[in-house]
Structure 1
Amino acid sequence: MYEERYAFLAEWYDPCATLLRRFQLLYYPEDGSVEMFDVKNRRIFLRRTKCNELHQEDLFVGSRVNVFSRHLNLIEYGDQYTANKLGSKKERTLAMIKPDAITKIGDILEMLYSVNLMVTRAKMVKLTWDQAADFYLEHQSKPFFNNLVQFVSSGPVIALELMGEEAISVWRGLLGPTDSAVAQWEAQQSVRAQFGTDGVKNAGHGSDSVAAAARELEFFFPSTMCHGPSNTATCADCTCCIIKPHAISEGMTGKILNSIFAAGFEISALQMFSMDRANAEEFHEVYKGVMTEYPSMVSELCSGPCMALEIRGKDSPKTFREFCGPADPEIAQYLRPTTLRALYGKSKVQNAVHCTDLPDDGVLEVQYFFKILDG
């Protein structure tokens, strides 16, 4: 009897060899097992093995999947059967949160989650005038061009890559009409109605076509070795927060960000990272031999995308650590029920967030993500 399997062409960037490697990835839905074949060397790379971290709903062209701590980009269907069975209307699009809505990012992520749009990449950047002009080049002849470029380059923006069914039209529908005043009349629950002011200060931007989405995503998240706009990390008077992969996959990112803003902290840099095991081990090295949970902490950090934040505020390393609460959520719920880990944590390893433990390490941990990993 024929056993069902799905085939994809996948790419993985090998950081040790600085090479982009291609594999044929086979997934067997009956038992959730995978096989991988090295395309160039024509040999088995991974014999058929059960992979609990991969699920059928993750499998579509354009997706990024985690197979034993390797983050693979699915770039093509491997055969017609897979294309027929799993091919869908899933798209990628760009959402840009403008300077006037930066502090509303938590609410916007909640709205995205409610319409089944998944954030697969995110980065807070500060565009120069020239970069903003390049991004809006198609509007160069419009009367509002200078005001638009001036506004978008006046403060940080957050670029998001969104993935989902008909993501382009769904996000533009969620944004609402371009003029926020019109949005407040015609689409009162939209992003622009709630957080925008006019036709320029209108909270966000969304790609209007597949071609525009590809071009605009490449602007913020280049696929080549060249760098997109720089992150906004100051690496001074700060501490580090990592929203852990389990919290992101469970849709808690928006709630956590809202809690951080409500507590009076400034988020001065934000970026999503997909950690490999070597990076996760290096980042958590201070806990090696000290905490019995170290191996599990490493596995959690590289189990999917995480979100790194630079947090600023008065005496931020100490006050933010107190705000996160005890590492064990059960203890946190008993002693500090309003802290992040009490509200969103599940276990001592899956406790929603990592925060810098030692005051002197705040800048070092921020630098690790925003200068070394994003260097």
Structure 2
Amino acid sequence: MNGYEYKRCSFLVDWDDEDASLVRKFQLFYYLEDDTIELYELRKNKGARPRLFLKRTRVAAVNLGDMHVGSTFNVMGRNMRISDFADEFTRNKLGKLLQVVDRCGAFVELLLTFAMLKPDAMDRSDEILNLIKDHGFKIAKMKMVSLDRGDILRLYNEHEGKPFLGFLVNYLTTSPCLAMELVADNAVSRWMEFVGPTDPERARVEVPGSLRALYGRDKGYNAVHGSNNEEDSKRELDIFFPSTQVGNLSPPRTSATLEGTLCIVKPHALKEGHLGSILQEIRKGGFRVMAMQMFYVERVNAEEFYEVYKGVMPEYAAMVDELTQGACVALEVRYDADVGDSHSRFRELAGPRDPDIARHIEPSTLRAKFGKTRVENAIHCTDLPEDVVSEVEYFFLMLQ
């Protein structure tokens, strides 16, 4: 080995090519000296040499700090998922990722854990998401879900036959929960430490800065859920974010009502850590979040979604690029007051498309506070009232 291998990291990645109905496999090289990548497609024929798919180039959406087994990123409009490290140097360099083997012989990643905000915490989800960010966790997947009895029995299968299971079913089916996949070093143990003891009263004495101390009411209404161990984390993530559907079991359904208007928190705003603060401003503006889900948008979908702007707005191509540069979060928001419709009210809260203009004439709007340019302007909101239903349905029905 001549030392060249130690200047780059190597990953095995998958791309679900829906047009060809197959999963294509690649080897990705990440060059440490200039943060460029190179991509080779791996052939199915034994002995066939990998085919160069992408020449060495820099891709804004690919950042070494975000690359772990299971993470998703966008390369030229294609969402790719890291399935494994491709060499020992990469495994050791990113060796904070520990692995154990479960009873089925599959690898369980200790870097990931499952987390869920329960119904009693949802009105404070903006604050909690900010705390999650401040404590060093990254949200890799997220979905606001409406649980049914079957979902809850799958999640809490260890409590089968216990007297409080009926309470859990009633409690968790009253209104939506927010399910998340979190990424951090020693994620499972760190999350449970941050969650705190089951009883919020005890948490307020022993760990006053924990989530249950801050947001829990009692043992029953204790705000948040966390996986107890690595095996539970793998099982619970598979319930809410399965890589494939197993038998007739499907993940819990989205909480979308299709009664509000659409807001998309753009990739740049997520990367800059603004999600919680944007949600806070939306809540203060008199809106209720009816549905929320993280998406990694393919180029073909971004082009289709923004098609109405093609040939009309000079920023169309750049808008498509931005929407595919990493995770975005789609929201269905509804105005809670008795007067005014959600669409027009939310457009007022969003502000002018150009953040510089917004800061001069509407400084309290979302784009004034969190936007940077006409393309990186923090959020998308539905422009025309006749497009409200189709835009909400695009994310919460078509992209499911």
TM-score (norm 2): 0.90
Q: Out of 6, 13, 28, which is 1:25 matched to?
A: 28
Is 1:65 aligned with 2:73? Answer: yes
- Structure 2 counterpart of 1:45: 53
CA distance in 1, matches of 2:177, 2:148: 11
1:121 corresponding residue in structure 2: 141
Residue type at the aligned position of 1:16: D
Task: Check if 1:6 corresponds to 2:9.
Answer: yes
Q: Secondary structure at the match of 1:165?
A: coil
Alpha-carbon distance in structure 1 between the residues aligned to 2:398 and 2:26 = 28
Residue in 2 that maps onto 1:167:
187
Which is further off, 326-335 or 168-177?
A: 168-177
Q: How does 1:44-193 map to 2 (within 5 A)?
A: 44-89=52-97, 91-193=111-213
Query: What whole-Å deviation, never above 9, does each CA across 1:231-261 have from its counterpart, x for those lacking one?
Result: 111113x210000000001100000011111
Match of 1:344 in 2: 370
Please, which moves more after superposition, 164-173 or 297-306?
A: 164-173
Which residue of structure 1 lines up, in the alignment, with residue 100 of structure 2?
A: none
Counterpart contact for 2:77–2:300, Cα < 8 Å: no
Structure 1 residue 56 displacement after superposition: 2.2
Question: 2:319 is matched with which residue: 297, 315, 323?
Answer: 297
Letter of the 2:276 counterpart = G
2:240 counterpart residue number = 220
User: Could you tell me the TM-score, scaled by structure 1's length?
Assistant: 0.96
C-alpha distance in 1 between matches for 2:392 and 2:60:
31
2:281 pairs with 1:259 = yes
Identify which range, 86-95 or 105-114, moves more after superposition: 86-95
**2:333 match:** 311
Q: Structure 1: which amino acid aligns with 2:14? A: E
Find the aligned partners of 2:21 and 2:269 in 1 and give their Cα distance.
30
Which digits, 9 at most, give the CA deviation of each residue in 1:30-88, with x for residues without a partner?
12222222223442222322333322212332322332232221121111121122221
RMSD: 1.5
Instruction: Give 1:219's aligned amino acid.
Output: I
Matches within 5 A, 1:199-278: 199-225=219-245, 227-236=250-259, 238-278=260-300
Instruction: Give the deviation of 1:225 after TM superposition.
Output: 4.2
Hey, what's the Cα distance between the residues in 1 that align with 2:59 and 2:34? 9
- For 2:182 and 2:69, how far apart are their aligned partners in 1? 14
Q: Which one-letter code corresponds to 2:284 in the other structure?
A: A
1:61 maps to a residue whose letter is V
Listed as ranges, the gaps of 5+ residues in structure 1 are none
Q: Structure 2 stretches of 5 or more lacking a match?
A: 45-49, 98-109
The number of residues matched between the two structures is 373
Shift of 1:342: 0.7
Aligned mates of 2:193, 2:202 — CA distance in 1: 14
Contact 1:22 1:39 in 2 (8 A): yes
1:363 matched to 2:389? The reply is yes
Q: Give, as a single letter, the amino acid of the residue that structure 2 aligns with 1:74.
A: I
Any conservation in 2 of the 1:10–1:22 contact (CA below 8 Å)?
yes
Distance 1:256 1:52 in 2: 23
My pick for the range that moved more, 266-275 or 43-52, is: 43-52
The AA in structure 1 aligned to 2:355 is P
Structure 2 counterpart of 1:17, one-letter code: A
In the TM superposition, residue 2 of structure 1 has moved relative to its aligned partner by: 3.6
- Counterpart in the other structure of 1:334: 360
Q: Which amino acid aligns with 2:386?
A: D
Q: Is the partner of 1:95 in helix, strand or coil?
A: strand
In 2, Cα distance between equivalents of 1:70 and 1:87 = 27
